[in-house]
Structure 1
């Protein structure tokens, strides 16, 4: 399992070197976009609208837009220094609370924790203490350049980090439109609804639930593939260096011919009659 992060979890004077691994994965079926005409994948480019050209990675800087079209540029060195300063700190569990006290709306993403070298004993100690007390730890940590509020708890004999939202990241329920005011329902309707809930009540078994849309989509893809209902995108034309070189040489030659000054024609000598010259001399 890929290690995403290495660090130290501490509570009191106990330090636990740990590794962090993603506990979940996205199983969405990713569909590509093709050009209908030639079945080639669509290419997306980063283009500067002012310079009207594609921008390379080394030409991009990060900035914060504090007002419309007003930015504070942040150097990569400055960001890395802040990140390193926070990452070097141990992740300290600051509080212990009951899991039931945290509403599920706060939970974001789950990560497994495994002990790093020499951390097995302290890892087992924290796990046992959390299991015996039924508590969970609240801590802060840096994940992907963001300071996260996190919960540390036990899941099937393994320590798990659950990142949770800060209170100001959870939108106010008062802003939700068209929520009806609390009203007393009809007694008969309420009793019927409660009976229906009782009939559908069972123990939670996650294996019972399947992504039916994903399964149907994969079946459709496999069916079309077996029927050879497939397309092949046209290959992008590769520049022919030889042809380009010949074109360039020919263009240069043509230009040279046009620019070359025409050679001067030699002056033609006029023929002189020898007999007439002699007569003149004799006179």
Structure 2
């Protein structure tokens, strides 16, 4: 597994030399853009609109636009020195909190943490301590020249570093348009909605969720590559246009209700013939 960062984690006076590895991967299918006429890949050139000429990489500098059309140029050597100064620092755990205290909106990306050769025992200690205390560590780290807030937690038998947003990176909910200020629902609608939720509740099994679009796109690519006949996918069931909320809830419950086996009717027992009395 490729190492993307080397450093150490510290909590108190305990220091753990570690490596970070990407815990997830992007499975998006990347499509190239071609010239329709000859199917040649399109090249994207860097052009200066003032000089009207192509600019080479060595002639490009980074800058911050502090106001429209006004820039502060930042030389590479200063940026590199700043990055190196901070990346060499240990990842210090600042606090320990319950993971339930962190809203999922803060989460960004996951990295597996592995110990360096001399860090196995301290790694095991932190893993065990986090598991037993049911806490996660809050830390800071610089990855790819960006300071990140992060949590350190246990996933299965491995420590994971999960980058999270800083509070000022999460937009305010009060700025979201058209959110109703109060719940205008009836008690019956609420009861029926909860009944529907209960009916659809199950254990989380990530394996049962698949990227249907990616699968279909791969099948299309393979069919085109091998010259197979393309088949138009069957049309999906049209979306119901039920506009009455209560009717929609009830229809949803009826649709998701588990099917019961039909109960076989018991045959009525035939009346016993009366015995003839002996004379």
How high is the TM-score relative to the length of structure 2? 0.81
Residue 75 of structure 1 corresponds to: 75
- Larger Rg: 1 or 2? 1
Aligned-pair Cα RMSD in Å: 1.0
Please give the secondary structure, in 2, of the residue aligned with 1:140: strand
Distance 1:88 1:22 in 2: 19
1:1-283 equivalent positions in 2, closer than 5 A: 1-227=1-227
Deviates more, 1:82-91 or 1:176-185: 176-185
How many residue pairs match? The answer is 229
Deviates more, 1:187-196 or 1:89-98: 187-196
Residue 265 of structure 1 corresponds to: none
Please give the secondary structure, in 1, of the residue aligned with 2:210: coil
Distance 1:21 1:183 in 2: 45
Distance 1:135 1:219 in 2: 44
Q: Could you list the runs of 5+ residues in structure 2 that have no partner in the other structure?
A: 230-279
Cα deviation digits, residues 57-98 of structure 1 (max 9, x gap): 100000000011100001111001111111121110010000
Runs (4+) of structure 1 exceeding 2 A deviation are none
Relative to 1, partners in 2 of residues 1:184 and 1:95: Cα closer, same or farther, differing over 3 Å? Answer: same
How far residue 163 of structure 1 moved from its aligned partner, in angstroms, is 0.2
Cα deviation digits, residues 5-32 of structure 1 (max 9, x gap): 0001000010000000000110001111
Distance 1:96 1:227 in 2: 58
How far residue 53 of structure 1 moved from its aligned partner, in angstroms, is 1.1
How far residue 228 of structure 1 moved from its aligned partner, in angstroms, is 7.1
Please give the secondary structure, in 1, of the residue aligned with 2:71: strand
Please give the secondary structure, in 2, of the residue aligned with 1:41: coil
How high is the TM-score relative to the length of structure 1? 0.80
How far residue 192 of structure 1 moved from its aligned partner, in angstroms, is 1.1
Cα deviation digits, residues 35-64 of structure 1 (max 9, x gap): 111111111111111111111110000000
How far residue 167 of structure 1 moved from its aligned partner, in angstroms, is 0.5
Cα deviation digits, residues 125-171 of structure 1 (max 9, x gap): 00000000000000001000001000000001100000000000000
Distance 1:33 1:125 in 2: 51
Q: Could you list the runs of 5+ residues in structure 1 that have no partner in the other structure?
A: 230-283
**Which structure is richer in relative contact order (CA contacts within 8 A, separation 6 or more)?**
1
Distance 2:33 2:143 in 1: 32
How far residue 115 of structure 1 moved from its aligned partner, in angstroms, is 0.3
Distance 1:102 1:22 in 2: 22
Residue 246 of structure 2 corresponds to: none
